[in-house]
Structure 1
């Protein structure tokens, strides 16, 4: 039986209760400054998820001026579980060790025992490292869960693409069979019916031949329409029909699974092939951001300039480590071939801030 995770509010209340209990046990009626620092530390824990570094700094006086230490331990655990800046975490651990080790007010130098100081320092190091390492473990577990979810989504997307590939091949094969076999035979029926219609003098036979010929012609029109639809669906769109347009970019960006923005300013007379090329380029670029730059933000911009349609997809550096995901490696190559067929170009490469940019240029009207 899988245990359900506790609600964050329950965890926060439990941590706050532990800190308040620790402060209550260590209250010294004669030490107003120490009592105030413990009270400040307990109140600060309410905001530990929103401002973990500030809350940790507010709990340090309690570790220095009083014997209440649990608020500081909870704060450094929260900081370790949320921050990705190791220098800040190390500095925080050193500050906590110093506050716990150094007595306040400082005693005369001659009264300090070296052996006692070493024991206290070792205890302080162990006390500070335990919650810090636990926080880092929680952060690693959270990142792993996110990566497993992304891998699952990528595998589901790959399965969908494989299914669409099989459907496209079957549709293309069916279109060929209908064009080469069925259409040919129906055409022969129409020709023979027309010949019979001309040669016969029997009214009933002439009427039957006319009906057969008309039905054959109608059937040929329907077959041609079906063949056109089947062949059009062989280019592997995300939705088999209809083909995507620039008007669907907002839905594509919103459903990309990453933090992305869209800026689009295009005229109304963009040709359907150009619209499909822009859509596919943005789709492939956002997929690559999700696969190769986990945690990055993306910005999509589409506009018209000097008779060309331009599109750029720029992403920031990844914030989480990348795991190898399955892929054909032909995505950008296919986009480049599509752009060249339309008389355009596509360029891609890293940006100056360790991000990545894909740039598409297409003539508004095919040359």
Structure 2
């Protein structure tokens, strides 16, 4: 894939050592002045300029529905996400979560999801110079080339389908590209017959399935039933921090085998309260799932006061995290996959699965 091919990083500004005044040892010297190596933070910035972050989970849409008077086109201290801080952090693509607040009544799930889709589309219309709706992997790459932040809608909750595949098709027509089965009656410990139909229809449409929050048994069933890779949009390593939204090693191995994606969150309850703790989780995800199945899904989008790991309180902290991974010895090729390449690959795989399904239906 072109986006994952090794690219030569352009020369980054280096800090030239002082040249000594001419003297017996330096007059006529042919050696160029020595240069200091670029710092990890400089290298991180250079990497992100080529391979920006595709962040799998941001809850800003829900926050703005509750507090609609924020201007995210300028630095806004009322929320932790705005366009200037997304750009400062090197974010090139964002999945806008449309999940309901915890405790939403099941009979309100569909209406709430539709309200959030409407709010997300309004947000994108309001900031056309910074954000643009993305429906495909090509849209994601094109937005980057045009200096926009590619904006995907989803996940929406699986409980919003209310036993109707037509609801899934309607969400897809509105632009939704991720569905989260967790909490849906059709995706408990096992998939019901309707659950299997949902997985097949999601594959046919090119809608990704987000197994965050599913029980390990349900996540394994969904990953096994899906012909397209499945993802976990905001998770961490359950082996390091037990949490209902974290992913155990068996599921990580299944994601690795199926080409799926585990996207690390920056939620202190899931990872711990420091940038180093988040990096520890990324080390574990990479070791178990492999460098081709790990990504980033920070879960920004909240109001001030939400606990975030030190150094990662808003999207502008991404370069610091990448610098930490470089200092831990992550190859630049693995970081390029982490930030951008893996998300792009999974989207293309889902689209390929959808095209193959359409071919079978018409063949």
TM-score by structure 2 length?
Answer: 0.20
Q: Which has the bigger relative contact order, CA under 8 A and spacing at least 6? A: 2
Larger Rg computed on CA atoms:
1
Bigger share in helix: 1
